[in-house]
Chains A and B, each alone.
Chain A
């Protein structure tokens, strides 16, 4: 009888963020659906109440079903039977509960069978699901792919596929191949157009999450003879048509309930999505941004799980006549874990709000011409979302790994045994900083916004806001961190060498990350004093990290790079 939503007050705190009122009004087109659909909200309070009630369902399913099944799913995992994936028993039960609860296609519009939820409450559900079982989050979270169909496919395709997703059919995004991982431009899967204009797919995909999904989005080479990303297009493959088989499931370290498949395509019929040649450069990029936000949510959920496991063990475990949490060394680890968790969640939802606003403007732009100020706002939030998504994915996934590591440390020798959930969380967490773009690739995406000033401008805006007196001192520290960050950017830019910038990029992005996350916690503490402790612990940590990077950059001579580089 657990509820992973109601037992976590931070979620309500972000659900009721002041910016939500605007997001919901835009998403609901000023509540125009109110009399058209019996489940549409009448006004903002009504919408909030609905999100709250639906998240309560998510929390209950996760606490009572998904979390309970997690251990067994981790042990048994899915298997391949006659070229098809058979999920673990627990996974089937989880999916059945989510379908019956109507939690698929949450962000899709009502006319296509969805709940028309903004991204923020949807991501909140992903956060909750991940805490219960990060592997299951992959299957449930792939409903995200419907977003790509909604954005780029034609009306007929939307009508054909999205209601099926909302009714509970699962999805996959088939991108990776044996020789095309981070470098998706090298995708080779061949798309051939037949005389009647229809397409068929031939080739192999690897590392495909939920590869036996009902509906696949597939990246394939439609332009014969091309070698780069501009020869790739996006296709929908419908499992009902046949032609794709599962050759094997990978034996992974973690998220074992989520089948990672090798697929063979043999004249598999497929439908083109949008325009030819835009598969990678436009559609996959959009798909990836959504997926990265999903992994940030997964990371936050895992961080939450790791922290809770560690906390309850530290309170129970007695040594030297008292609970180990009473030892400062243990208490410190826990307070830092909590601070990293809270900072991660603050960044996750800041990012989701930015995504919400620009996406809803994109959608409105399909119905009518945007006003000039709307256009400006859409552009601004699109840039913020573009900057905050890699930052969120990078920072939260690294923190979730650190928290998972510390959770085991708190458990001591018991944590190294298979008996406690922390070892599963540790294994599950490891993938978050790898898939949907490694942390190193997030740095590549984020560094642009370091040099062009997206982060710095946002930081400056935040620092110009009033804060309550009890956290004024923290604001001054954050101001100082921002200065050090700005100085470091200037120093690196001053060298004027792309190689040097590349070398320092991770440090600069982390400086941005610590400053941004600290400022977000400052905003949270302003609104809710229960965040003060995490704010203070996190900013103390951030101050030291930013100083460390400032020191490294300040004392680095460009010619020292050669000590780090590989020479053939």
Chain B
């Protein structure tokens, strides 16, 4: 049995090594100062898809990413690791999307791809940390979802057997296809880029990229597999009212640049009474709890 898998991946600013110029004066992310990377948990999701492709020959893995044309780099990264193809969902109409509008656009693209068995994405993206997009897509598609997945153990008889990482430990669940799965960072790390695939796909591009480079354009004409799909709102039959800013009920009132002010370390005696006192204090000032 083989499956059609869509992997949701996002190009994000690398917020793991934030310098002092990471935020602009207005409190938004300074994307120019941070390198754009493959969202880490989406790589964990891709590994699950590639593992299933190995387990079930004939399985097809498609990367779906929403963003500007340069997000094609995410699709190339996926191809280097073993994905079969990819689509960049790109339209000015999507600008300013919150999680609701994003999941609307992505679910429209998933529908357009059609005939899928699994939609796998990372739990959350490191630029927003909402963990909402995966579940919202499942709701919009009207199909079940398994979140916090750590291992898709097998897919058999129309059901996927999945190990979840939950607060109190792990649980193993079975869910019917088609299915949305969001994967935790504690799952297996993604395999490295493959030397042969890198050489094969390094010129893969979306049409708008290829238009700027004659050599790439000519090569893509000769090798159609190098063309990465570039879809817009119209391609996926999206209702513009539900896209971008108009479709985003989230309103950002204010962004505060928090600067840690505490300077001194405090020593606490290692006794139950002292620790209890500290815990109460931290709860009182809302540091924990």
Contact = CB atoms under 8 A, between A and B. Distances in A.
Nearest to A41: B199
Interface of chain B, helix or strand or loop or mixed?
helix
Nearest to A51: B199
Interface string A31-51: 000000011111000000110
A115 interface: yes
B200 A57 contact: no
B186 interface: no
A456 interface: no
A325 interface: no
B277 interface: no
A50 B192 contact: no
Contact of A50 (B16, B193, B198): B198
Contacts of A39: 196-197, 199-200
B192 A61 contact: yes
B192 A57 contact: yes
B195 A103 contact: yes
B20 interface: no
B198 A57 contact: yes
B191 A102 contact: no
A372 to B, nearest CB: 35
A100 B194 contact: yes
B202 A101 contact: no
Given A39-B199, A39-B200, A50-B198, A100 B223 contact: no
Contact of B196 (A42, A60, A102): A102
B202 A49 contact: yes
A104 B79 CA distance: 20
A53 B223 contact: no
A101 B199 contact: no
Contacts of B196: 39, 102, 115
A101 B223 CA distance: 23
A253 B223 CA distance: 53
A41 B200 CA distance: 9
Interface residues of B, number: 14
A54 B192 contact: no
Contacts of B202: 49-50, 53
A97 interface: yes
Contacts of A97: 191-192
A100 B192 contact: yes
A132 interface: no
Contact of A38 (B193, B195, B223): B223
A54 B223 contact: no
Residue picked from B193, B196, B219, most chain A C-beta under 10 Å? B196
Contacts of B194: 57, 100-102
B192 A38 contact: no
Residue picked from A40, A42, A53, most chain B C-beta under 10 Å? A53
Residue picked from A54, A60, A61, most chain B C-beta under 10 Å? A54
Nearest to A65: B192
A106 interface: yes
Interface string A44-79: 000001100110010011000000000000000000
A97 B189 CA distance: 11
Residue picked from B198, B199, B223, most chain A C-beta under 10 Å? B199
A47 to B, nearest CB: 9
Contacts of B223: 38
A1 B37 CA distance: 12
Nearest to B14: A1
Nearest to B37: A1
Interface in A105-158: 106, 115
A38 B198 contact: no
Contacts of A49: 202
A40 B200 CA distance: 8
Contacts of A57: 192-195, 198
Contacts of B200: 38-39
Given A100-B192, A115-B199, 19 more contacts: A39-B199, A39-B200, A42-B219, A49-B202, A50-B199, A53-B199, A54-B195, A54-B199, A57-B193, A57-B195, A60-B192, A61-B192, A97-B191, A97-B192, A101-B191, A101-B192, A101-B193, A101-B195, A103-B195
11 contacts: A1-B16, A39-B199, A57-B193, A57-B195, A60-B192, A60-B193, A61-B192, A100-B191, A101-B193, A101-B195, A115-B196
Interface of B: 16, 191-200, 202, 219, 223
Interface of A: 1, 38-42, 49-50, 53-54, 57, 60-61, 97, 100-103, 106, 115
